[in-house]
């Protein structure tokens, strides 16, 4: 991949297939700091609590759907045009229902986590949060769903395994779309807050009123009817976990000395979530091919131990090794790009890079181990890992990434590796 810079200079970045699949994250990561200085984000800082929860929709909905359709492609369930479109339409309608509900609940969580502990509450700000969250979740989910279906169908036609590309590509562009929509809608509603205060209420009511329509459509397709009633547990639980990560981000950003974390949070969370989603989808497809629901391969029986994830010659062992090895070179590319584009003011000192890379490596190491244990446990219980594992894993990735990054910035500040203009 060739990257051009002002002045005509360029650099060639040789990327492997997994690296190409996570590269779009940098497009979103290097510009996430821009809305940080908009009025809506400065005066209603609880919007930052929404960021991990709404970006977590990629794990709750988009990446879960991508994993389900990837498995359907690999096992031949999308060979028939009728069956293919039934799967697509039913799942897209289900995704809109879940996006609306999760967007509303994320706003409620932001109100509870952000304001009630401090004893402050403004109804107009609460309505703005609900409207921004529901509208962002609905619009972003619809756009991401269209992109994701295109990637799945395109992968099938070109003979590429969708497990390797569909999930991370859909998630990466999903982050970019979600951040852009949240920023513009929040700022637009904030501008209307004084003159047209009713606009926020109308926007929220409009998208909530569309929910029954999507319920009717999704209930007509057998593939999505079951999940319409049983697929809420991982989605809502993952949203709560992501909101806790958002609370950590909100409190850290509120400290002027640590505000630079906002640039790097989507980097570490996006890469970690994408890498573990690839591994989860691959393990799930392997189980669908070689085991009956409720039964696990011999090597996965017994108590779990971390070496089981990385030590071995199986396809899943090799993919775990490759994904772990991608962490450091991948993050180095992203850090260098952020530095060149001047998207953050935190100086890339050797100490900062060492601490940051250690946090990123620990995050992915833990996520890959958790994924191996979780996917096999869900399969052993008779449930489909495609629908249950990725929401938990990406939410845990958001929480681990944000927490480890916050600890890293606190550690760097304590030892004196700090900038006077951090987060400017």
Give pLDDT, residue 7: 42
Residues 310-319, mean pLDDT to the nearest whole number: 78
Give pLDDT, residue 206: 92
Angle between helices 385-415 and 261-290 (to 10 degrees): 150
Query: Under a CB-based contact definition with an 8 Å cutoff, are residues 19 and 215 in contact?
Result: no
Give pLDDT, residue 366: 92
Residues 143-162, mean pLDDT to the nearest whole number: 80
pLDDT tens per residue, range 94-126:
888 988 888 888 888 777 776 666 666 677 778
Q: Is 282 exposed, middle or buried (0-12, 13-18, 19+ CB in 10 A)?
A: buried
Q: How confident is the model at residue 75 (pLDDT cuts 50, 70, 90)?
A: confident
* pLDDT over 70 percentage in the chain: 75
Predicted TM-score (pTM) above 0.75: no
Query: Under a CB-based contact definition with an 8 Å cutoff, are residues 14 and 271 in contact?
Result: no
Q: Which of 57, 113, 386, 383 is nearest to 238 (CA)?
A: 57
Residue 121 has a CB neighbour count (10 Å cut-off) of: 11
Give pLDDT, residue 11: 36
Domains and CATH numbers, the chain: 23-241 (1.10.357), 255-423 (1.10.357.20)
Most confident of 194-198, 293-297, 352-356: 352-356
At 12 the three-state DSSP class reads strand
- Tell me the pLDDT of the chain averaged across its residues: 75
Kindly give, in sequence order, each residue whose CB lies less than 8 Å from that of residue 294, ignoring residues fewer than 6 positions away: 379, 380, 381, 382
At 4 the three-state DSSP class reads strand
Give pLDDT, residue 17: 41
């Amino acid at each position: 991949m060739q990257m051009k810079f002002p002045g005509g200079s360029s650099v060639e970045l040789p990327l492997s297939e997994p690296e190409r699949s996570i590269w779009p994250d940098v497009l979103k990561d290097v510009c996430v700091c821009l809305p940080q200085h908009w009025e809506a984000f400065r005066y209603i800082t609880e919007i930052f609590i929404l960021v991990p929860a709404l970006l977590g929709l990629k794990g709750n909905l988009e990446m879960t759907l991508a994993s389900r359709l990837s498995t359907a492609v690999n096992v031949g369930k999308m060979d028939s045009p009728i069956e293919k479109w039934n799967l697509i339409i039913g799942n897209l309608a289900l995704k809109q229902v879940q996006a609306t509900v999760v967007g509303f609940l994320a706003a409620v969580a932001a109100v509870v986590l952000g304001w009630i502990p401090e004893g402050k509450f403004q109804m107009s700000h609460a309505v703005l949060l609900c409207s921004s969250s529901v509208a962002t979740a609905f619009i972003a989910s619809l756009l991401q769903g269209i992109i994701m279906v295109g990637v799945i169908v395109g992968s099938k036609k070109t003979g590429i395994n969708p497990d390797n590309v569909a999930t991370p590509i859909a998630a990466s562009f999903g982050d970019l779309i979600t951040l852009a929509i949240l920023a513009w809608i929040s700022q637009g509603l904030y501008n209307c807050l004084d003159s047209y205060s009713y606009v926020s209420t109308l926007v929220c009511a409009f998208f909530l009123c569309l929910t029954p329509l999507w319920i009717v459509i999704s209930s007509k397709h057998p593939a999505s009817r079951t999940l319409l009633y049983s697929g809420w547990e991982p989605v809502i639980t993952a949203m709560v976990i992501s909101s806790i990560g958002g609370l950590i981000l909100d409190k850290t950003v509120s400290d002027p000395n640590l505000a630079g974390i906002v640039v790097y949070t989507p980097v570490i969370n996006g890469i970690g979530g994408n890498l573990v989603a690839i591994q989860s989808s691959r393990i799930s497809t392997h189980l669908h091919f070689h085991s009956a629901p409720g039964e696990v391969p011999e090597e996965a029986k017994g108590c779990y131990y971390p070496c089981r994830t990385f030590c071995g010659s199986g396809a899943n062992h090799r993919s775990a090794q490759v994904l772990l090895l991608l962490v450091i070179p991948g993050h180095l590319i992203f850090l260098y790009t952020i530095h060149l584009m001047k998207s953050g003011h935190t100086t890339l000192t050797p100490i900062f890079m060492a601490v940051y890379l250690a946090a990123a490596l620990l995050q992915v190491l833990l996520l890959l181990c958790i994924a191996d244990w979780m996917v096999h446990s869900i399969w052993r219980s008779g449930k489909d890992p495609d629908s249950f594992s990725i929401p938990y894993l990406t939410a845990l990735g958001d929480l681990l990434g944000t927490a480890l990054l916050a600890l890293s910035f606190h550690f760097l500040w304590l030892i004196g590796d700090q900038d006077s203009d951090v987060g400017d």
